[in-house]
Structure formats: C-alpha cells, structure tokens
Structure 1
Amino acid sequence: MIPTENKKPKRILIFSLAYLPHVAGAEVAVKEITDRLNPAEFSCDMVTLRFTKNDLSEEKIANLTIYRKRWSGLPFFLQKVLFPFTAFAAALRLHRKNHYDLVWSIMASYAGFAAVFFKYCFPKVSFLLTIQEGENFGRRKVFRFLFKRIFRRADRIQVISNFLADWARKMGAVCPIEVVPNGVSLRNFQKPIDNNQKKEMKERFGFKEDDVVLITTSRLVPKNRVGDVVEAMKFLPENVKFSILGIGHLESSLKSLVTSSKLETRVRFVGFVNHSDLPSYLHSADIFIRTPISEGFGVSYVEAMAAGLPVIATPVGGIEDFIRDPSTGSEQVATGLFTKVGDPKDIADKISRLINNKVLRDRLVANASKMVSEKYDWNLVAQNMADILSR
C-alpha cells in the first residue's frame, strides 16, 4: 500500500471501454495501479461497457467501484459506438452524487470522447488522458479532427513510452506529458520452474528436452508479423522450435504457412493463455521473439525479461525505450537484440547469434533483469501514477 497523509480522498472517475473480465494491457495496468492506491488518498470509480449480460452492472473490485453500462437490444458494435454518450450520461449522474476532482480516460478513443464531453460541461474538473495505443495510428485519419480534440482538452497526459509522447504532441497536445510505462509482477514472472517442469512443458508440445524453443506472446494480426518468424525457421536447424501463444484472425493463414513450409513438427500454436499461466510458458522456453512493425510499448518483452529470457525485437515504437542492442553501444549495457523489420533471414541470423554465444546471452539476460527490477516493477509504476493523480 502506498503511504499517504491523512486527508480527504481525491474523487476520481475513470472512463474505460473495457475492464475485467474483458482485459488487455491497458485494463491490466488500471487494475495493477488502482489495487496499489491508498483508499485514504484516492477514491476511484469507473464507467465501462457492459459486454455481456453475465457482467455485473455494478461491483467493487479491490479499490475500484465499477459501473457497467449498455443499451438493451443493440448489437455490440453499436454499443461501442454509443459508449461515449452512454458513459457521459452515467458520469453526469455519478458526478451529482460524488463531485469528482478528476476524470481519467484510459485510451484516446471511445473513453476519450466521453471524457471530453464531461470536460466541456465541467471545465474545472481535471482531465487526465492515458495513452497506450500500439496500433497503426493512420487508421484514425477519418475522424482525426475530432480525435485531436481529446488531446487538446486534456490537462495532463500520461503515456507508456517516449514514442507515444511524440505522437501525442503530433496530435495537438499542449499540456504536460509524462512517461510512466506499464509494469510487470516481478513475484510472478521471476519465479522459476524446475528442470522437470520445463521438460514436461516441452514434451507437451512434442519438443525434446534439448531443443531450443523460441516463444512469442502475440495477437495474430498483421502488425505483429508472426509469419516473419515462421519464415525464419526455414534457415535454422531442426532442433530449433517455435511456440506461438495468442489468437487472432491470421491464425488460419499462419497455420497454412507452417504446413506449406513443412514446419508442422517445429511450430506449435498454443492459442489463448491466461496471463496467470504465462510465466510457466516463458520459463519453459529459451528465447523470446516478437517482430512487429509498430508497438506503443511492448510489455510482453518486459515480462520475458523478468522471466530470464533473452529477447529479439524490431526497433519500432516504444520498444526502443528498454531494448539496447549491442551494436548501438557497449555490450555491457545491452538488453536485447534488434532485427530488421520484415526480414526472415536477418531474424534467423539473430536467433543463431543468441544460440551460439552463451556469453552474450547471459549478459543480455543479466542486464535486462536488472533494468526490469529497477524500472518496471508495478509498485514503482503505481507510485509514479499516484504522484500524477494527486496533482
């Protein structure tokens, strides 16, 4: 628990399109942060979309009171489109009762518009915008003019990488912007598994104990370029295997690529894995690899680093905040290897370099583990966010 002086708690209303149990990186971050805020200093409510009838319309999870809203009888895509108006109406009712000091928008899309509507009505209430988007930002050009108003109306912006800070400025932000990255649960990801457990995990996928296992945790979508790693497998020895954790609309085409490349015995599609089970999968592998064409931050790499894996990535977006390639400076401070975007042969070369150079591998793991412990522990992240929320 974050210590604080004895005073009246600050009332905060959070707008988020999704929340538990429907979560991704941004929603996980909200939970990790709010769980660690001292309720004597912060009182937090959230308005979010009620995805299904099984989701409670109101509940309290740890330090957060959640209000889920939806229009009856409408298809899901319309529920999303109408969420800014639904959330704004709910916020008006809640504000009459709770008199919020700050509204906090998670992401700059549906939730951001709800926060802007609120800000126009209550200009004295502070507006904090959190940016975590890692998609191709060009997709927003259709409504860029309206979208920019979210950035211009914010009183303060928190981003998870320097790349996103630059993007926020390009979108017209004139308020202070602070970089506070997402974190990782060191207790969960640094807990090792024994050799027998590692052997069992490999055998479950038909891999041998002495196989070199690559692993990725990734949505199977175009921007993440999982197919490039599959293509790279053609240039690597038979004992190099690849576990793919994640789902997405490219799964069928990726499986076809594996079949046409005759890699069925070397590539495994694990599918969706609960976040709580992820550390075991990481500890059973040897190298973490993810080669996207864009990335807002990349917490998957940080989790792999915490689990003690050497990582290979592409030098895009927020990834450059925490991966230092030996070619850009001293190997003494390197934390991973960079590979070229869309180049399977270069990917294979970087994998071979890690396999064949134990000194480099151990150095990268040690440097990355130290960096994660010093900068990406959720307790530290929550303290930094508490400082922002208290202003």
Structure 2
Amino acid sequence: MPKKILIFDLNYYPDHVGGAEVAVKEITDRIPPDEYEFHMVCLGYDSKLPKESQEGNVHVHRIGFTKSNVELEDLSKFPLHYNKHLYLFWAPIKGMLLHRKLKFNATWSMMAHPSGVPQAIFGLFYPQVTRILTLQEGDPPEYMERLYKPIWPLFKRVFIKADVIQVISHFLEKWARDMGYTKDIVFIPNGASTESAGARADEATLQALRESVGKQEGDVMLISVSRLVHKNAVDDVIKALALLPTNYKLLVVGGGEDEDKLKALAETEGVGKRVIFTGHVDRTMTAQYRQISDIFIRPSRSEGFGNSFASSMVLRLPVIATQEGGIADFLFDAKRNPDKETTGWAVDKDAPDQIAKAVEEILAHPEQVKQVTENAYQMVTTTYNWNHIAENMKEQVFDKILKNNFATKEIFTS
C-alpha cells in the first residue's frame, strides 16, 4: 500500500509552471508509484483544464476562478488575480475534503509563500499528518515577511510546525533558522534537465530559429530566459546592451508582468530593435533558444536557486549572473572565488556596466570560456542531476519520516 502525500502548490502542469513545479514533476516522476501516491491541490486558471487530471505521477485537483484561453498576463487581471489570495484558504478546505476520503500520510508544501499557509491551516485540524516543507523561494525574505504581517502567527507556524524542511540553497537554510525552525534541515538543491537540455536540435531547425529572431552573421546573441518580473533584473541586461556595439542583440525568452515596461525601456535606451521578446514559450523550446545564443545573462536581485542557470550550463553557455541568494552555491567567479573552480562570471546586482564588461571579457578570452563552461557542465551533470536529486528526496525525506515508524515526529536526522 503506497504512502499518500498531499502537495500544496499554486500552479502545476500543463501551463504556467515555474521552477518549483518543474522540481515537483522531475522528482515525483522518478519515484515508484507503488511506494508513494502523490495528490496536489493547485489553481486551475484555464477553463479548458479538467478539475482533476493525472500529470505524470501526480493526481491534480484544481480549484479557483477560471476563464477560457488564458494568457500569462491574464493571471494579474480580474478575476484570476484573486485566485492566489483565495488559495490560502480555499486550498486547505479542498485538502481536508480529500483527506477524509484518501487519508494522507503527509502534506508537502512547495514553498512557504504561498503554499505553506494552506498546509499550516490543514495542520490545525489534522496535526497528526506529517508536514514536509520545501523552501524554493526566489523573492527576498524581507518582502515575504512584510507580506504576511497581517497573519504573522500563521506564517510562523509554516516553519516551526514543519516536521522536516528541505531547502534548495544555503541562503534559504538561513531563512528557515531565522523563522524559528530548530530541527534538522535537509539540503537538496534543484537540478537541470540534463537529458533534454543537452540534446542539440538539428541544424535546419536552429537556422530557422535564427532567422525568426533576426540573428545574422557576425551578431552576438545574449539571452535571458526568465519570468519578466523585477527580481530577475532583465532591465539591467537591456541597459548593459546599450553600452555594447550594435551587433550585440538580446533575446528575452519568457513573459510576465513587466513585459510592457521592459519594451518601453528598450526604446528609451535606444536598443528597441536589438531586443527580441518571445513572450511566453513552452519550456521544451527554451533549450533551442539557448542553442542559437552566445551568452546567458540573468543578474537576479534575489534567487532561491535558479534552474535556468543550470540548464544553460548544461549547454556549455557562458553564464553571467549575480551571486545573490542561492546562485552563490554554484556560480563561482575567478576573481571573487579564487578558492573554487570557476563556473561563471559574477557581477553585482543593479550594475549594467559590470554586465557589459563581463560580456566583453567573455568575447575576448575564448580559451578561458571553454574551460569555465566545461567546469560548469561537469558540476551540473554530477551535482544537479535530477536522478540523484529524486533519489535523495526519496531516501532523505520521504522514506526517513514516513517509513521508519518513529515513536514521535520530533526524531529526524539528515
């Protein structure tokens, strides 16, 4: 009889997924269904999606307001905008109704914000159900703490009542401690889809893609694969592009609430014709966009981990990034981290001039780039391999707290 785990996550496949959702799928798809049965309560958004469906190894239960043919920008408009607020209280009710029928052994929250709050409410009514909390946050802790001031005692319970916390970066481990969690913490990072990301598309496909984005002979294509939100700092990449020669172009892959603002900035900076916005694209296409590009740049203002960096390293793209949050766990700069094997080029946040200089340095030293990208590739394919990560999640988290029949929940060692 498999152990049953109820996952709380805001979104899930097939649409509008981010790093947390990728992690859930990559992990659960690799765990035998005869050992663990996963259910999830998430928002549906699009009326074309069924209320229930099987997505890989996860049985998905969708709630919330919906409308037809939803685009990414619709999520911030009426009525879908209210979904994420209602989710805090709607999701635990749905979870409790499911629990009466399915009898879950554990709940698993993907991020404290916002999914931890439904888990905490569920736990008020069913304290005997084990609680697993994964910290995947990319937003600054100060922002999230300020956001939850009106329900601060409940938000604190997300942390202090967890039976185990798994973090994807040491930056988030510190946050868990700052929030009052005293038990052991399991450090298991996110990974990169090394098989799909590393598979090169045929040349005809890539040439057609180059033509579609206007990449010509002699052009240097910079790329940022990102949600277009303030924390991901695509604005700084646009400002850096204005400092570089006219044969340098920027491919912005992804959509988000700041898209119109960024397009206006590109015009203001005089690089409107050199910045190509793809809008939201299927995640399976992002590898092809990387393959026609020369340098990956994402100078994040905050970051929990950043799957996008690792996926770029798999393709041996040179990576320019800040060392904010979890990025510091894997991006090591020759000057800033002389004791580490170099894996990228680090810049300060809010520093377009440093981005431009890093681009020039990369273009000027091809042999150095070859060594650095090989270092990064080897690191990602060994340390950040989803097969290893799923195995660690199963053994160090699920098996340890659900199969070892502890006398109390308090006994847990990582």
**Fold equivalence (TM over 0.5):** yes
Q: Given the alignment, which residue of 298, 323, 328 partners 1:315?
A: 323
Residues paired across the two proteins, number? 384
Percent of aligned positions with the same letter in both sequences?
A: 39
Q: Given the alignment, which residue of 162, 186, 205 partners 1:178?
A: 186
The whole-number CA distance in structure 1 between the counterparts of 2:352 and 2:148 is: 36
* SS of match in other structure, 2:390: helix
**1:237-282 CA distances to partner (integer Å, 9 max, x unpaired)?**
2222211112223322322232233323422122222100111100
Q: What's 1:109 paired with?
A: 113
Q: TM-score, normalised by structure 2?
A: 0.87
Q: Aligned pair 1:253/2:261, yes or no? A: yes
Q: What's 2:98 paired with?
A: 94
Q: Aligned pair 1:41/2:35, yes or no? A: yes
Q: Given the alignment, which residue of 388, 409, 412 partners 1:380?
A: 388
**1:69-113 CA distances to partner (integer Å, 9 max, x unpaired)?**
337999434443232332222222322332221111112134212
The whole-number CA distance in structure 1 between the counterparts of 2:262 and 2:164 is: 41
The whole-number CA distance in structure 1 between the counterparts of 2:255 and 2:220 is: 23
1:116 to 1:241, Cα distance in 2 relative to 1, 3 A: same
Q: Aligned pair 1:269/2:262, yes or no? A: no
Q: What's 2:53 paired with?
A: 59
Decide which moves more: 84-93 or 361-370.
84-93
The whole-number CA distance in structure 1 between the counterparts of 2:263 and 2:88 is: 38
**1:321-370 CA distances to partner (integer Å, 9 max, x unpaired)?**
11010113459810000012212221111110000101110011100000
1:206 to 1:106, Cα distance in 2 relative to 1, 3 A: same
* SS of match in other structure, 1:70: strand
**1:31-69 CA distances to partner (integer Å, 9 max, x unpaired)?**
111111101211111122232332211222222212223
The answer on whether the counterparts of 2:253 and 2:286 sit within 8 Å (CA) in structure 1 is no
Q: What's 1:295 paired with?
A: 303
Map 1:139-288 onto structure 2 (within 5 A): 139-140=143-144, 141-144=146-149, 145=152, 146-194=154-202, 197-288=205-296
The answer on whether the counterparts of 2:46 and 2:66 sit within 8 Å (CA) in structure 1 is no
* SS of match in other structure, 2:200: coil
Task: Give the partner amino acid of 2:234.
Answer: V
The whole-number CA distance in structure 1 between the counterparts of 2:31 and 2:337 is: 38
1:309 to 1:331, Cα distance in 2 relative to 1, 3 A: farther
1:34 to 1:290, Cα distance in 2 relative to 1, 3 A: same
Q: Given the alignment, which residue of 131, 137, 142 partners 2:135?
A: 131
Structure 1 position 225, deviation (Å): 1.8
1:349 to 1:124, Cα distance in 2 relative to 1, 3 A: same
The whole-number CA distance in structure 1 between the counterparts of 2:352 and 2:115 is: 38
The answer on whether the counterparts of 1:199 and 1:209 sit within 8 Å (CA) in structure 2 is no
The whole-number CA distance in structure 2 between the counterparts of 1:99 and 1:273 is: 38
The answer on whether the counterparts of 1:213 and 1:286 sit within 8 Å (CA) in structure 2 is yes
Structure 1 position 194, deviation (Å): 4.9
Task: Give the partner amino acid of 1:112.
Answer: G
Q: CA RMSD in A?
A: 2.1
Structure 1 position 163, deviation (Å): 0.7
Structure 1 position 202, deviation (Å): 2.6
1:255 to 1:75, Cα distance in 2 relative to 1, 3 A: closer
Q: Aligned pair 1:16/2:9, yes or no? A: yes
Q: TM-score, normalised by structure 1?
A: 0.92
The whole-number CA distance in structure 2 between the counterparts of 1:72 and 1:364 is: 46
The whole-number CA distance in structure 2 between the counterparts of 1:160 and 1:216 is: 22
Q: Aligned pair 1:336/2:309, yes or no? A: no
Map 1:61-76 onto structure 2 (within 5 A): 61-70=55-64, 75-76=79-80
Q: What's 1:4 paired with?
A: none
